[in-house]
């Protein structure tokens, strides 16, 4: 991802420190941190406050999320090769609520061209109401994510050597991605 303001990679214009410094703004995001027991996986995870919990029900869509450091779902049925965490990971959200990651597994999506996309290390977090695909985790795993204006392209290399591009369009400051998980 490349900033439209400073043309540097790794952040978007609304997160650009150069722009914030030049126009005298300070970052406004409320950060939520996932804390864990030192005996667990040895990594930190963060979420930013973007309406990730709700009392109105669950949203079965998937969203590309630029602030989450890991993929997360509220639906354990979507995950294969599930590994329960010995110690649940505490997630403290930006609204001061808390959730716990119980485990993680592999998520398989059915693409419109009848291929499958496998997303590894997706955390099961009961209590979330949105399913999140972390942009940073996706790019670390070789996916290409490109933002421009109010749209985004999520590109993956498939196991058969071809690539597939999924377009996303910003809705209420989130980027829903048109993929259907295979329930197992």
pLDDT in tens, 150-168: 999 888 877 777 788 888 8
- Specify the number of domains making up the chain: 1
Render pLDDT for 113-149 as a digit per residue (tens, 0 to 9). Answer: 777 888 999 999 998 888 889 888 889 888 899 999 8
The whole-model pTM stands at: 0.67
Render pLDDT for 82-114 as a digit per residue (tens, 0 to 9). Answer: 999 999 988 766 677 778 999 999 998 887 777
Which structural domain, as residue segments, surrounds residue 129?
18-181
DSSP-based three-state secondary structure for 162: coil
The answer to whether residue 154 sits within a structural domain is yes
C-alpha–C-alpha distance, residues 155 and 142, integer Å: 9
The answer to whether residue 104 sits within a structural domain is yes
62 CB-contact burial (10 Å; exposed 0-12 / middle 13-18 / buried 19+): buried
The answer to whether residue 169 sits within a structural domain is yes
pLDDT at 65: 83
């Amino acid at each position: 991802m490349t900033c439209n303001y400073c043309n540097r990679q790794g952040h978007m214009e609304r997160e650009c420190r150069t722009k914030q410094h030049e126009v005298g703004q300070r970052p406004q995001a409320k950060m939520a941190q996932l804390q864990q027991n030192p005996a667990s996986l040895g990594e930190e995870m963060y979420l930013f406050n973007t309406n990730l919990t709700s009392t109105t029900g669950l949203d079965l869509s998937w969203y590309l999320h630029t602030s989450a450091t890991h993929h997360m779902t509220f639906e354990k049925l979507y995950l294969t090769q599930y590994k329960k965490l010995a110690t649940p990971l505490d997630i403290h959200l930006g609204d001061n609520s808390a959730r716990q990651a119980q485990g993680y597994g592999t998520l398989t999506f059915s693409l419109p061209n009848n291929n499958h996309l496998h997303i590894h290390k997706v955390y099961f977090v009961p209590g979330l109401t949105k399913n999140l695909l972390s942009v940073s985790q996706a790019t670390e795993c070789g996916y290409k994510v490109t933002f421009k204006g109010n749209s985004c392209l999520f590109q993956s290399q498939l196991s058969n050597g071809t690539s597939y591009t999924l377009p996303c369009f910003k809705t209420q400051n989130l980027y829903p991605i048109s993929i259907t998980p295979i329930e197992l």
